[in-house]
């Protein structure tokens, strides 16, 4: 099956410092903000796409750290104040960012959350490919997000954060929506694993991934 | 001519649950109407292993994996076999303890780092892969309560698309402070065994365990994975769509992808957690799907509790066993059906052999997933 790249976007922790976070995101975690903003940038390349192809569009979101920062906050609050805070719990689930993004963009197609360590870029992209080949969806957002400010602080290491998204589609489907001259997506150029770094493991720096660098090159 | 995709079969089952350390224990408890839930939680008893396991998640997983592989006649996993694990907690018990000790300054940073390295959900998969000597494709799905239902479908896709020859699919979950206190904070837990679809239902019973299913293509097996569907509510972070719109779409896709019509479904094995919102939403979704055709709808959460990411796999294992015993199971814990939920509840376990069963899961984050599991007699060669 021929896949095309309809859009791409990324968001860094530096972006987060200047980003005008919408008021309705006041309960969002760093991962939620970074992932959702990167998806927004990817979708910005194809205005109106989601309105036309909502149910046909999937979302595969991969994160190694997931929401462990929020899990840490939940456990600290529980330990020190003897209070279990429901907001921290709901935000601490590994798929909370996927849920948040789906609500923001009103995505009603299939959404998958995965955690595959250093293989994350490969597994998120292969998951999207599997869904597209099977016909479960005809376009798919693939997002990597790594936010771990609290965790990296605990181990006294600086590990960069951020999110990166691509919007893939079956070529035929893209053409049917009028996106005819879009570049083919060459999977092999994107799927290299995160580079291993024992100094920061298990935290991974998203900027080290080929997936992320491919997006930087296209900006 | 287009090549017809191969039929994907479930050929082996394994389970560790609060009801025991085998699928047989799970089935016996169902037959005896014996719940594994105590004080609102479904904990796996330590004494079902030779000794209390140091790492519960890994102990559950290895035990259930070996049972499933024995059942399927798999002596080992080959490099062209896949392993897909669904979990929301993984090694969280280890991480949780180390974390608590560290923030209270009882654990030096070097030791914390050592345990911290064991933190992600992925580490369960890594450890399990080592225990089973697996070197093939592998991933971890974390889509909350729908994760292992998604994993079963993904396993079927991997085989159809020839990424792997066979696939071992798992759901693994442990009860830890994060989930136990977290669900309590959302006021979703019931101290009594859950009462799915009952007018007096009060909430869920959190539980733990592991369930493994062996998938492969071929001429036959215990049951076929004949369809699947997925959708997202895009409605609320933890609550389902009140009218079940998302669940309806997932079920509808699953039935259509199996080449069936809703009236072909004999039994809907519901997510049926016993929470007020879930059961109403899911019941309305089933009604939307089936209309005047009323398949039996039941939940078995009273027996084994709600094992979150493992629930789809654990309950699929139970469904396959029930299918082979020739039963549609009633909803245990249901005495006074909620009249607002318009589904057909079997009044007792029915000695009828279901041909096609729709297995539902609804997860936090609005993730819905459904499978159609089919009896071998209904699958065309």
Within 8 A of B98 by CB-CB distance, chain A residues are none
In a domain, B3, yes or no: no
In a domain, B2, yes or no: no
User: Quick one: DSSP state of residue B239?
Assistant: S
* 3-state class (DSSP) for residue B249: helix
Q: Please compute the mean of the pLDDT values over residues B271-284 and round it to a whole number.
A: 96
User: Quick one: DSSP state of residue A109?
Assistant: S
Taking only residues 82 to 111 of chain A, the set having a beta carbon closer than 8 angstroms to any beta carbon of chain B reads 84-86, 89-96, 98-100, 102-103, 105-111
In a domain, B1, yes or no: no
In a domain, B28, yes or no: yes
CATH number at residue B45: 3.40.47.10
Confidence of residue B97 (pLDDT cuts 50, 70, 90): confident
Within 8 A of B138 by CB-CB distance, chain A residues are 116, 119
Cross-chain residue pair A119–B150, CB shorter than 8 Å: no
In a domain, B380, yes or no: no
Residue pair B86/B153 in contact (Cβ under 8 Å)? The answer is no
Residue pair B86/B150 in contact (Cβ under 8 Å)? The answer is yes
In a domain, B283, yes or no: yes
Confidence of residue A199 (pLDDT cuts 50, 70, 90): confident
Identify the domain containing residue B340 by its residue range: 8-375
pLDDT for res B329: 97
Cross-chain residue pair A100–B237, CB shorter than 8 Å: yes
User: CA-CA distance, B152 to B225, in Å (whole number)?
Assistant: 8
Cβ contacts of A179-184, under 8 Å, gap ≥ 24: A179/A4, A179/A6, A179/A46, A182/A4, A182/A5, A182/A6, A183/A4, A183/A5, A184/A2, A184/A3, A184/A4, A184/A5
Q: How many CB pairs under 8 A join A and B?
A: 180
Cross-chain residue pair A86–B122, CB shorter than 8 Å: no
User: Quick one: DSSP state of residue A81?
Assistant: H
Q: What ipTM was reported for this prediction? A: 0.96
Domain count for chain B, please give it.
Answer: 1
**Domains identified in chain A and CATH numbers:** 3-218 (3.40.47.10)
In a domain, B251, yes or no: yes
Q: Please compute the mean of the pLDDT values over residues B23-38 and round it to a whole number.
A: 97
* B304-338 pLDDT tens trace: 999 999 999 999 999 999 999 999 999 999 999 99
The most distant pair of C-alpha atoms in chain B lies apart, rounded to whole Å, by 68
In a domain, B381, yes or no: no
Mean predicted lDDT score pLDDT of chain A? 94
């Amino acid at each position: 099956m021929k896949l095309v790249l309809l859009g791409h976007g990324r968001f860094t922790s530096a972006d987060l410092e200047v980003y005008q976070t919408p008021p309705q995101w006041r309960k969002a975690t760093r991962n939620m903000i970074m992932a959702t903003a990167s998806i927004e940038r990817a979708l910005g390349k194809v205005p109106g796409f989601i309105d036309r192809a909502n149910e046909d569009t999937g979302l595969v979101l991969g994160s190694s750290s997931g929401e462990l920062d929020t899990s840490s906050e939940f456990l600290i609050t529980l330990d020190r104040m003897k209070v279990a805070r429901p907001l921290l719990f709901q935000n601490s689930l590994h798929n909370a960012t996927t849920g948040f993004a789906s609500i923001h963009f009103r995505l009603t197609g299939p959404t998958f959350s995965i955690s595959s360590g250093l293989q994350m870029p490969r597994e998120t992209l292969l998951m999207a490919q599997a869904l597209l080949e099977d016909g479960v969806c005809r376009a798919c957002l693939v997002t990597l997000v790594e936010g771990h400010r609290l965790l990296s602080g605990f181990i006294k290491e600086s590990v960069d954060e951020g999110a990166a998204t691509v919007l893939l589609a079956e070529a035929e489907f893209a053409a049917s929506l009028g996106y005819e001259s879009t570049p083919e997506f060459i999977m092999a150029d994107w799927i290299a694993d995160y580079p291993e770094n024992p100094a920061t493991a298990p935290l991974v720096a998203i900027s080290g991934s080929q997936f992320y660098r491919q997006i930087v090159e296209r900006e | 001519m287009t090549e017809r995709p191969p039929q994907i079969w479930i050929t082996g089952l394994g389970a560790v649950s609060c009801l025991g350390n085998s699928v047989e224990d799970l089935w016996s408890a169902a037959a005896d109407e014996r719940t594994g839930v105590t004080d609102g939680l479904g904990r796996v008893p330590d004494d079902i292993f030779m000794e209390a396991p140091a790492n519960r998640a890994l102990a559950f997983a290895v035990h259930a994996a070996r049972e499933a592989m024995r059942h399927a006649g798999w002596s080992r996993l080959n490099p062209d076999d896949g392993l897909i694990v669904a979990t929301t907690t993984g090694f969280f018990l280890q991480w949780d303890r180390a974390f608590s000790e560290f923030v209270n300054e009882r654990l030096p940073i070097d030791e914390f780092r050592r345990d911290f390295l064991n933190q992600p959900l992925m580490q369960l998969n890594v450890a399990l892969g080592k225990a089973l000597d697996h070197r093939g494709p592998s991933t971890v799905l974390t889509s909350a309560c729908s994760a292992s239902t998604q994993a079963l479908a993904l396993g079927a896709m991997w085989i159809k698309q020839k990424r792997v020859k066979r696939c071992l699919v798992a759901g693994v979950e442990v009860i830890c402070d994060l989930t136990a206190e977290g669900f309590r904070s959302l006021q979703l837990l019931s101290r009594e065994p859950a009462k799915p679809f009952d007018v007096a239902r009060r909430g869920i019973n959190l539980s733990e365990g592991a369930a493994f299913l062996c998938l492969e293509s071929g001429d036959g097996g215990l049951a076929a994975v004949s369809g699947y569907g997925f959708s997202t509510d895009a409605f609320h972070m933890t609550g389902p769509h009140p009218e079940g719109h998302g669940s309806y779409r997932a079920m509808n896709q699953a039935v259509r992808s199996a080449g069936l019509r809703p009236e072909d479904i004999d039994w809907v094995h519901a997510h049926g957690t016993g929470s007020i919102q879930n059961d109403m939403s899911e019941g309305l979704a089933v009604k939307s799907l089936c209309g005047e055709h009323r398949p039996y709808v039941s939940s078995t959460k009273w027996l084994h509790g709600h094992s979150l990411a493992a629930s789809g796999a654990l309950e699929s294992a139970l469904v396959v066993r029930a299918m082979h015993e020739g039963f549609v199971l009633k909803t245990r814990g249901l005495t006074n059906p909620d009249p607002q939920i318009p589904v057909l509840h079997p009044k007792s376990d029915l000695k009828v052999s279901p041909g096609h069963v729709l297995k539902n899961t609804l997860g936090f984050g609005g993730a819905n997933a459904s499978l159609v599991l089919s009896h071998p007699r209904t699958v065309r060669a």
